[in-house]
Structure 1
Amino acid sequence: MDLFLNLVASGLVIGSIYGIIAIAFAIIFKTTGVLNFAQGEVMMLVAYVSWSLGTELTLPFWALIIVSIGVAALIGVIIERLFIRPMIGQPVFAIVMVTIGLAVMLRSLIVILWGSDAEPFDAAIEGGLIEIGPVVLFSEQLFAIILFFFLSTAVFLFFRFTRIGIAMRATAMDETAALLMGVDVRRISAFAWAIAAIVSGLAGITFAIMFSRAPDLWFQGLRAFPATILGGLDSPLGSGFGGLIIGVIGDLSEGYIGQGLKEISGFVVIIIVLMVRPYGLFGEKELERV
């Protein structure tokens, strides 16, 4: 029983990271209809820039988080303005290809500016070891879980009750109708990219604190992608909880069946789920009237 609980706890930790990144994927897709294949690379860039600023300014952890939110928003807006906005009106496939090219460019940029070695993030969360019954977690791991639930709640409330969130939902439903109602679609697109960069950037910082900052940090975005599909591309909250499911299943399969299954179990799960619900567990079924 102790093994089961510890596997579930470790699955919730990594699943929280996957879930936060999946929320970022879903925010952009829900607002613009674009699947951003550079989300993992944006997350990595935010983590590296935040580390550099934190090191130069010797910021405590909570100050680092506040600065990182501003940095991430700026990075998201710059990427949207330089690479995505000129593609407005082009086929979605063309925009997706731009995000793939952006991903490759950001990976190279990280290596050029910061090198190819893995290094510690050098930012600790006070608390040490935390015992919850038979489960033992580091404070950084507990922070990852708390951050997931905080961001999930914040994103839900943002889309449900704020003017910008409602405008983003309206744009996702019908961009032309939103324009006719006075919604600035370009501004909404910039907001979506900024928010997604903030959310994924916080995930990247948390992961780097728990493990290390390394040029393969972007790979966590690829690992989180099954969570987005599982939860539903048009459901940020569902995508987040899809991350928890993927994380727990991955750790349980590796703990009880065999090593290496963590990497593929998520993709096995989405294949099974998509055969039954092609729009994901929490996604909305699209209906076309003719």
Structure 2
Amino acid sequence: MDFFLLLISTGLVIGASYGLIAMGFALVYKATGVVNFAHGELVMLTAYIAFSLTQIFGLSFIPLMLVTIPISMVLGLTLERIFIRPMLGEPVFSIVMVTIGLAVILRGVTIMIWGPDPHNLTAGVTRDVIRVFGIPFYAAQLMSIAALAICTTLGWAFLRFSRIGISMRAVASHETAALLVGISVSRTHAMAWALSSGLAAVAGVLFAMNFKLAPDLWFQGLKSFPAVILGGLDSILGAAFAGVIIGLIENLSQGYIGQGLREISGFIVIIIVLMVRPYGLFGDRDIERV
């Protein structure tokens, strides 16, 4: 029983990381219709920025996030303005290739600045074990789960009630119609990149605190992609829930079946689900009149 609870606790933590990263993917896709393949690299880069802030200023977790999130949002706005804004109106494939090129650049820049060696990021958080309903957690693990719950709630409220969120939904639904009613598509795209980068900062810092900070952190973006597909590319909340599902499936399959299944179980799940629901568990069915 203890082994099962340990697998559940670790699966929830990994799933929370997947969910936070997947929300960033889905947010950009919902507003722009483009998959940002540099999102994993943004997660990595913002985590390294947070690490440098702790080394220079000795910031604890809350002040660290209050500083890192705005920096990451400015970074997202800058990247969107330099690399993505000039591509508006170009084929989607061309924009996707730009994000892939941006990903390679960010990986190289990160290694140039911080080197290839792994680092520890604690941000002053205790390493004591806390039991919740008999399940053991570290404080940083509980913070990851809480962060996913908070970001999911704020994301729902933002898209449902805020003016910017409604604009994003309008642009995602019909870009031309949104332009006709006075919505700035370019500004909406920029805001989506900024908010996605803010989510990347939360995900990157918490993942580094729970596991490690290393240049291969970008790979978590690829590992989170099954959650995006499972939840639905256009469903931000669905991506969050699907991240937890993928994390639990990966950990349980590794614990009870074998190590190799952890790396492929998420992709097996999305293949099965997409054969039944091509738009994901929470995505919107795309209907066209002919």
> TM-score under structure 1 normalisation?
0.98
Tell me the CA shift for residue 208 of structure 1.
Answer: 0.6
Does the CA-based 8 Å contact 2:60-2:125 persist in structure 1? Answer: no
The letter of the residue matching 2:233 is L
Counterpart in 2 of 1:188? Answer: 188
In 2, Cα distance between equivalents of 1:265 and 1:202: 25
In 1, Cα distance between equivalents of 2:13 and 2:260: 18
Secondary structure of the 2:212 match is: coil
The 1:71–1:153 alpha-carbon spacing in structure 2 relative to 1, beyond 3 Å, is same
Counterpart in 2 of 1:85? Answer: 85
Does the CA-based 8 Å contact 1:230-1:281 persist in structure 2? Answer: yes
Counterpart in 2 of 1:146? Answer: 146
Tell me the CA shift for residue 260 of structure 1.
Answer: 2.2
Tell me the CA shift for residue 203 of structure 1.
Answer: 0.5
- Give CA-to-partner distance per residue, 1:230-256, whole Å, 9 cap, x none: 000000000111100000000110111
The letter of the residue matching 2:32 is T
Counterpart in 1 of 2:27? Answer: 27
Counterpart in 2 of 1:102? Answer: 102
Counterpart in 2 of 1:261? Answer: 261
Counterpart in 2 of 1:66? Answer: 66
The 1:63–1:270 alpha-carbon spacing in structure 2 relative to 1, beyond 3 Å, is same
- Give CA-to-partner distance per residue, 1:2-42, whole Å, 9 cap, x none: 32222122111100000000000000000000000110001
Secondary structure of the 2:217 match is: coil
The letter of the residue matching 1:163 is R
The letter of the residue matching 2:266 is G
The letter of the residue matching 1:279 is Y
The letter of the residue matching 2:66 is I
Counterpart in 1 of 2:7? Answer: 7
The letter of the residue matching 2:259 is Q
Q: Following superposition of structure 1 onto structure 2, how do residues 1-290 of structure 1 map, counting pairs within 5 Å?
A: 1-126=1-126, 128-290=128-290
Secondary structure of the 2:20 match is: helix
Secondary structure of the 1:218 match is: helix
Tell me the CA shift for residue 81 of structure 1.
Answer: 0.3
In 2, Cα distance between equivalents of 1:39 and 1:168: 19
In 2, Cα distance between equivalents of 1:249 and 1:100: 28
Secondary structure of the 1:136 match is: strand
The letter of the residue matching 1:102 is L
In 1, Cα distance between equivalents of 2:188 and 2:68: 21
Secondary structure of the 2:199 match is: helix
Tell me the CA shift for residue 122 of structure 1.
Answer: 3.9
In 1, Cα distance between equivalents of 2:132 and 2:242: 24
In 2, Cα distance between equivalents of 1:170 and 1:190: 15
The letter of the residue matching 1:269 is V
Does the CA-based 8 Å contact 1:37-1:100 persist in structure 2? Answer: yes
In 2, Cα distance between equivalents of 1:134 and 1:183: 50
In 1, Cα distance between equivalents of 2:215 and 2:91: 31
The letter of the residue matching 2:161 is F
The letter of the residue matching 1:29 is Y
In 1, Cα distance between equivalents of 2:189 and 2:12: 31
Secondary structure of the 1:130 match is: strand
How many matched pairs? Answer: 290
Q: What percent of counterpart residues are identical?
A: 54
Does the CA-based 8 Å contact 2:21-2:203 persist in structure 1? Answer: yes
Tell me the CA shift for residue 127 of structure 1.
Answer: 6.7
In 1, Cα distance between equivalents of 2:3 and 2:60: 35
Gaps of 5+ in 1: none
The letter of the residue matching 1:44 is M
The letter of the residue matching 1:187 is R
In 2, Cα distance between equivalents of 1:236 and 1:28: 9
Tell me the CA shift for residue 280 of structure 1.
Answer: 0.2
